[in-house]
Amino acid sequence: MSGSPGSPPPEGGFVRRVGLFQATTINMSQMCGIGPFVTIPLMVAAFGGPQAVIGFVAGAVLALADGLVWAELGAAMPGSGGSYVYLRQAFQYRTGRLMPFLFVWTAMLFIPLIMSTGVVGFVQYLGYLAPDMGRTTGDLVGVGIIALVVMLLWRGIENIARITAVMWTVMIASVLLVIVAAASDFSAHLAFTYPAHAFEPTSGHFWVGFAAGLTIGIYDYLGYNTTAYMGAEIKDPGRTLPRSILFSILGIMAIYLLLQIGTLGVIDWHRMTDAGDIASTSVASAVLEKTWGKGAADTVTVLILITAFASVFTGLLGGSRVPYDAARDRVFFRPYAKLHSRHRFPMLGLATMGVITAIGFLIGRHTDLATLIQLLTTVMVIVQALAQIVALTVLRKRQPTLRRPYRMWLYPLPSVIALVGWLVIYGYADKNSPGRHPIEWSLAWVALGCVAFVVWARLEKVWPFGPREIAEEYLTAAAPDADAEPAQT
């Protein structure tokens, strides 16, 4: 191994150059992106009316609860790889390297699938500017965008941080313009007139819609953990990582609520459920066209395209670090441990995720966006979301002396809230994607990962074909932010 994740980076490894502002913008760029612009109609369809705002509120609650899990784990173990590092530390005592292997196995699928939804949204909004664009042309444009993102990421972190800050500014501008435009022609009657029986918790339909809305809502907030995957590149991670996670969630929560309510106050929600209406695919453009005219709509649509591009950019930036850290620790294929000789980024991880993003984009284009969101969410829930919540509790018991610059507020309440939220999403997945069987596909993918692990473990002669290897390196590693005071005790 070239060194322990979270310890000072070895010669030729990552350098801590990303500060709080850059870390927060990386998270927010990934969180916002194209998500709310394409999912507002999906949320309205799930709830059957403007009460869809419930989905964004529920998603925010789940993101905040889960974000506190990430905050404690990320501050305590600031290595590259995020969940991979946390699961490796927590579950090594009983199952060796199984859990980190399974995480990387699933992450190599769900991370690029998340990025592929952003590219699907990009092509949807491009269709507003080019209404005559055919399906094949749209497919080619989307694949070309993914190739461009990979080319831009093929450089050093200093350039990436500056580019991300610029794209974050564009993202904020595009969202604010839609919010201001909606406020200029806002109708409270449209936004707050609900269909009969919209709020009947005793109705089975309500809870199916709520689960679908929660799934879409948390999808829109995904990205609050992007900097945790870049822990080895964050300055003063004990302070920066928790703050970047919380600041980004709170900022995006405020933006989403204003965006959702404003949009519902301009566009009749029935239009968003009509597949032939532009509001069902490019609702933000429809808002601008109705309020400020076609020219303003075209301009803001261009900004939304840049925002979508930024979300894919930052997502692949963080996600490509996951297989690197695993391979460096001999829990994934060894070629993924190689960094670019000059710019020091994981080449194979970036290239692989770029290819899978392109495949996911084509799948989404030829099925539908809601199905793609449901599939990626169920794959993510089992090994990352649920296992990571368990990992936090396991580490508190197994490694009580672990340096924790940040400790979860009101522990264990946020963990319980996050656990219930993820279980609701998973339990209703099949009902919300009839005929697609996302639960069965996710279980099959994890089962295949277990088979792959057994084969890999046999070749590497590790548990269960060798002794367990316990490595508690974070208990003795030098603190990368030694001068920082604990954020919460």
Rounded Cα–Cα distance for residues 257 and 56 (Å): 7
pLDDT in tens, 381-395: 988 899 999 999 999
Percent of the chain with pLDDT over 70: 91
**Averaged pLDDT score across all residues of the chain:** 85
The reported pLDDT for the residue numbered 160 is 62
The reported pLDDT for the residue numbered 479 is 67
**Looking at residue 90, what DSSP letter applies?**
H
The reported pLDDT for the residue numbered 263 is 95
Q: Using the predicted structure, report yes or no on whether residue 316 has a pLDDT greater than 90.
A: no
The reported pLDDT for the residue numbered 460 is 82
The reported pLDDT for the residue numbered 236 is 84
The reported pLDDT for the residue numbered 8 is 38
Least confident of 92-106, 356-370, 473-487: 473-487
Q: Cα–Cα distances in Å, from 27 out to 39, 240, 362, 414?
A: 19, 12, 26, 20
Output the six-digit token pair for 101.
């292997």
Q: Using the predicted structure, report yes or no on whether residue 487 has a pLDDT greater than 90.
A: no
The reported pLDDT for the residue numbered 153 is 83
Q: What is the mean pLDDT of residues 152-161?
A: 67
Q: Using the predicted structure, report yes or no on whether residue 36 has a pLDDT greater than 90.
A: no
Q: Using the predicted structure, report yes or no on whether residue 3 has a pLDDT greater than 80.
A: no
Which ranges constitute the DSSP H helices of 130-268?
A: 135-153, 157-184, 188-192, 204-221, 237-264
The reported pLDDT for the residue numbered 14 is 62
Which residue's entry shows tokens 């980076």? 9
Q: What is the mean pLDDT of residues 1-7?
A: 35
Q: Using the predicted structure, report yes or no on whether residue 106 has a pLDDT greater than 50.
A: yes
> What is the number of other CB atoms lying within 10 angstroms of the CB of residue 430?
16
Sign of CA dihedral 48, 219, 26, 410: positive
Least confident of 137-146, 260-269, 456-465: 456-465
Least confident of 1-5, 57-61, 270-274: 1-5
Rounded Cα–Cα distance for residues 107 and 146 (Å): 18
Q: Grade residue 489 by pLDDT with cuts at 50, 70 and 90.
A: very low
Output the six-digit token pair for 307.
């925002």
Question: Rounded to two decimals, what is the model's pTM?
Answer: 0.84
More confident residue, 83 or 145: 145
The reported pLDDT for the residue numbered 157 is 56
The reported pLDDT for the residue numbered 5 is 38
Percent of the chain with pLDDT over 90: 41
Please name which of 208, 230, 268, 193 lies closest in space to residue 74, comparing C-alpha atoms.
230
Which ranges constitute the DSSP H helices of 381-437?
A: 387-398, 413-427, 429-432
Q: Using the predicted structure, report yes or no on whether residue 296 has a pLDDT greater than 50.
A: yes
Q: Grade residue 183 by pLDDT with cuts at 50, 70 and 90.
A: very high
Output the six-digit token pair for 65.
């609860």
Q: Using the predicted structure, report yes or no on whether residue 154 has a pLDDT greater than 60.
A: yes
pLDDT in tens, 428-464: 998 888 888 889 999 999 999 999 899 888 888 888 8
**Which CATH code fits 21-466?**
1.20.1740.10
Contact 105, 129 (CB under 8 A): no
Q: Using the predicted structure, report yes or no on whether residue 6 has a pLDDT greater than 50.
A: no
Rounded Cα–Cα distance for residues 245 and 223 (Å): 9
More confident residue, 422 or 455: 422
Per-domain boundaries in the chain: 21-466
pLDDT in tens, 388-421: 999 999 999 999 999 899 999 999 999 999 999 9
3-class DSSP assignment, residue 98: helix
Q: Using the predicted structure, report yes or no on whether residue 158 has a pLDDT greater than 80.
A: no
More confident residue, 422 or 486: 422
Rounded Cα–Cα distance for residues 281 and 123 (Å): 10
Q: What is the mean pLDDT of residues 306-316?
A: 82
Q: Cα–Cα distances in Å, from 341 out to 14, 79, 336?
A: 12, 20, 14
